[in-house]
């Protein structure tokens, strides 16, 4: 069995599955209905366009759907950190410009308010720690679904998140197959193929080919780095597959990821020193750890620190 390839594939699946736990920006829901950041960078050859359409029926009543959620995310992403008040004002202007009825505008703004509250609640959830296996991913998805139902109810939750939830759960099932012990390569591939046929439409199966191509290239990049390839070598390989603009963005993301990993490593070293300091009482040690977190990480990063460290451990074991 090619366990190395399976490990790489499994790890890259885990990253987008848990991105909604670990992402730094509150407006990023981490939907894996879209490709991971790296794969998206490889496919996107230009600056991001405004996302999400405000749709309405013949009577100019609001249609609640994934495009409306995308518009919410877009408005919240215009300023970092997000400014919900400014985003709400912009949304109100957009709704009036679209010609929606007063009732529809009120409905959309109320949904936006609930969406902001949901994002805040989502950010307070503690990321799962330890090994990110398929079982823990499923538990995380169920927690997120319960939170969505709490804020939106079944109808609006399905309208806003149904498509991405369908794909998230498909990816969790795929991860379970990748991590299942005792399968031969042929049996594992057959199970994955059957899952694709059962859970994905022809259009979704076609859309999956882009990240699969990216995975293949990044697998080769990992082998190149293991052989001592330089950053220039990696750039040329990516450029030959995705084009120069995408290769440049991937190189930038490599640098950002390396910096983040270095910050985690530095924190681990400082944490080890505190834990090894026998002169500290338990309360003094905890106070020092809390101060260390505040010095090294933003409030949003602190909420996701345990999960980030757990993911780092998981990837190191592959």
| Helix (DSSP H) and strand (DSSP E) numbers for the chain | 15, 0
pLDDT at 32 over 50: no
**pLDDT, averaged across the chain:** 81
> Any long-range contacts for 96-99 (C-beta under 8 Å, 24+ apart)?
98/54, 98/56, 99/56, 99/60
Q: What is the pLDDT of residues 152-193, one digit of tens each?
A: 999 999 999 999 899 899 989 998 998 899 999 899 999 999
- Residue 72 — very low, low, confident or very high, per pLDDT cuts 50/70/90? very high
Give, for 46, the enclosing helix (H) or strand (E).
Answer: none
Q: Return the SS3 of 68.
A: helix
Mean pLDDT on 32-43:
44
Angle between helices 231-242 and 244-276 (to 10 degrees): 130
CA 6 to CA 240: how far, in whole Å? 25
pLDDT in tens, 227-247: 999 999 999 999 998 899 889
Residue 62 DSSP SS3: strand
Closest CA to 52 of 14, 95, 12, 7: 95
**Closest residue by Cα to residue 34 from 126, 219, 171:** 171
pLDDT at 146: 95
Distance separating alpha carbons of residues 37 and 253, to the nearest angstrom: 8
Residue 130 pLDDT > 70, yes or no? no
Express as a percent the part of the chain with pLDDT over 90: 47
């Amino acid at each position: 069995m090619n366990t190395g390839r399976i490990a790489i594939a499994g790890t890259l699946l885990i990253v987008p599955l848990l991105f909604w736990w670990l992402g730094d920006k509150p407006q990023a829901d981490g939907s894996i209905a879209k490709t991971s950041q790296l794969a998206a960078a490889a496919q996107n050859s230009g600056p991001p366009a405004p996302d999400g359409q405000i749709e309405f029926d013949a009577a100019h009543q609001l249609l609640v759907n994934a495009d409306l959620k995308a518009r919410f995310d877009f408005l919240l992403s215009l300023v970092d950190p997000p400014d919900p008040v400014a985003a709400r004002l912009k949304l109100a202007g957009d709704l009036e410009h679209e010609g929606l009825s007063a009732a529809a505008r009120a409905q959309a703004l109320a949904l936006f308010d609930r969406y902001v509250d949901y994002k805040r609640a989502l950010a307070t959830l503690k990321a799962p720690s330890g090994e990110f296996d398929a079982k823990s991913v499923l538990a995380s998805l169920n927690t997120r679904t319960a939170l969505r139902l709490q804020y939106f109810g079944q109808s609006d939750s399905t309208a806003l998140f149904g498509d991405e939830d369908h794909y998230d759960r498909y990816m969790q099932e795929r991860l379970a197959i990748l991590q299942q012990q005792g399968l031969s390569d042929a049996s594992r591939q057959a199970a994955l193929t059957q899952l694709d046929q059962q859970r994905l439409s022809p259009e979704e199966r076609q859309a999956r080919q882009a990240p699969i191509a990216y995975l293949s290239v990044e697998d080769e990049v990992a082998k190149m780095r293991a052989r001592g390839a330089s950053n220039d070598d990696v750039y040329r390989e990516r450029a030959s597959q995705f084009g120069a603009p995408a290769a440049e963005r991937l190189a930038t993301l490599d640098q950002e990821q390396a910096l983040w990993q270095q910050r985690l490593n530095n924190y681990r070293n400082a944490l080890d020193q505190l834990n090894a300091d026998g002169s500290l009482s338990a309360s003094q040690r905890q106070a020092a750890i809390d101060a260390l977190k505040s010095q090294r990480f933003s409030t949003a990063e602190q909420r996701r620190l345990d999960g980030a460290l757990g993911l780092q451990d998981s990837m190191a074991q592959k």
